[in-house]
C-alpha cells in the first residue's frame, strides 16, 4: 500500500540500499531523480537513452552512481519501467542525497 513517503522507496539490503524507480526513457534531458511518485512510492527518473540494448538501464545506474558517489547496479526490472537499483551506500546517505537532489 502506497503511503507517499520517500522512505518507502528505499530498502536497506546487505551491503547497501535498494532504490525503487519509475523510469521514462527518451526524454530531452536526463534527470535522476526527477520527482517522487507518492502513489507508487517510487522515485521518478527521466532518461535520454532509449530502452534498446539496455541503454536506458545503463544510463540509470550510471546516473545513480554519479549522484551518490557509490557503485550502483540494476537489481530488478531490466525490461520494465519499474526498476530497482542496488547502491553500495548506507540508507542514510542514499536518503539524504536523493532528498537533496529533489530539492534542486
Count of the separate structural domains present in the chain: 1
Global pTM reads: 0.92
In a domain, 90, yes or no: yes
DSSP letter (8 states) at residue 80: S
Instruction: Report pLDDT digits (tens) over 37-84.
Output: 999 999 999 999 998 999 999 999 999 999 999 999 999 999 999 999
The enclosing domain of 79 has a CATH number of: 3.30.1200.10
Whether the CB-CB separation of 64 and 85 falls below 8 Å is answered with: yes
Pairing status of strand 31-37 against strand 16-24: unpaired
In a domain, 1, yes or no: no
Distance CA 63, CA 44 (A): 13
Amino acid at each position: 500500500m502506497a503511503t507517499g513517503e520517500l522512505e518507502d522507496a528505499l530498502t536497506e539490503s546487505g551491503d547497501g540500499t535498494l532504490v525503487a524507480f519509475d523510469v521514462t526513457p527518451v526524454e530531452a534531458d536526463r534527470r535522476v531523480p526527477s520527482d517522487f511518485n507518492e502513489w507508487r512510492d517510487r522515485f521518478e527518473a527521466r532518461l535520454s537513452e532509449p530502452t534498446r540494448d539496455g541503454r536506458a538501464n545503463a544510463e540509470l545506474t550510471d546516473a545513480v552512481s554519479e549522484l551518490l558517489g557509490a557503485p550502483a547496479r540494476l537489481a530488478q526490472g531490466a525490461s520494465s519501467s519499474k526498476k530497482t537499483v542496488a547502491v553500495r551506500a548506507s540508507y542514510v546517505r542514499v536518503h539524504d542525497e536523493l532528498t537533496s537532489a529533489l530539492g534542486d
